[in-house]
A = this chain, B = another copy of it.
Amino acid sequence: MSSSIGTAPLSLPAIRARVDAEVAAFVAQRRPTLEAISPDLADLLDIVSDGVSGGKRLRAAFVCVGWAGAGGQECDEVYRAAAAMEFLQACALIHDDIMDGSDSRRGLPSAHRRFGDIHRGQTWHGSAEQFGAGGAILAGDLCLSWADEALLTCGLEAQSLARAKPAFDSMRAELMAGQYLDLVEQARGGGDVQRARTVVSYKSARYTIARPLEIGGLLAAADSALLSAYQRYGLRLGEAFQLRDDVLGVFGDSAQTGKPVGDDLREGKQTLLIAATMQLAGPEDADLMRENLGRNDLDASRIERMQQVISESGALAQIEALIASGRDEALEACASVPEPAAGALRELAVAATSRRA
């Protein structure tokens, strides 16, 4: 790929490598101060450090591309600002895993499980589960605190930071709001397509794409025409990105996703894919879905049967069509973005919607 920020390539792997390095450097810089307080903090730091490692770094990439599209030159500072997104994301994942009771994340034990295991490995008092949840709440809080610290200490000019900080503030509040609305929808048992789309818009589209692009743009003083192209791209691609996630949660290959096949079915996740299935499936199939969604003991054959219902009802095709139209509208918005950022956005649009993990 030939797109670049200044001389650096704008490809996702190249950005990921730089962001990984900045994230690791940020944690490494703070580790000695905290470990000097007490050696017991090494566990907290290790789990935070692993929590911010890995991942696709999509949010960071959108900051970098948003910056480049607005004429920002390649520099260490922008990768540091981009790293801020990944601390926020680490908080979201660590806290989300507690809320969902998820035991694994990217194929490894989730943070609350790791803290729980530390407790189990000692002759300690109290419940290992409660210690695990407590440790993970604090690990997430530390990541959340480090997110704005990473942004504001990235070394870009104060003016740049002052432009971007309000968008970062909105991004955080929208994330918490979207997550809360998701909790409510799951509790309600879903079924309302409009409410499901609101959750997707706030929890995913704005949070994953629109706001990071905007933040990158604002850091480099993007004009309002560019910011509005970023927003169109972000909201449409963001929805498509989440819908791909929902499809992977049902049909994904566990070797690639790092999660058991059909995990979303076992969790009973109320997604647009499920809402569409309930609308389109015949009464017997709809009953089968209702009876089995959210059952922890679903076996492989039952999951296969549910996948069949989702597919044969036409819901899967409907969602795939939404993904394709979201991707296409996002690609159209790229026409208002200068090269080489537009090229990078096009590649990211394809990657985000055709990924397998």
Contact = CB atoms under 8 A, between A and B. Distances in A.
Contact of A142 (B98, B125, B133, B176): B176
Contact of A38 (B158, B172, B195): B195
A1 interface: no
B181 A124 contact: no
A286 interface: no
Contact of A180 (B44, B101, B162, B183): B44
Given A95-B138, A141-B144, 14 more contacts: A37-B177, A38-B198, A95-B137, A95-B141, A98-B134, A99-B130, A99-B134, A125-B186, A131-B183, A131-B187, A135-B180, A137-B137, A158-B158, A158-B162
Interface residues of A, number: 56
A165 B146 CA distance: 12
Interface string A302-339: 00000000000000000000000000000000000000
Interface string A107-144: 00000000000010010111000110111011011101
| Top 4 A-B residue pairs of the complex, sorted by shortest distance between their CB atoms | A99-B134, A124-B187, A145-B172, A142-B176
B125 A188 contact: yes
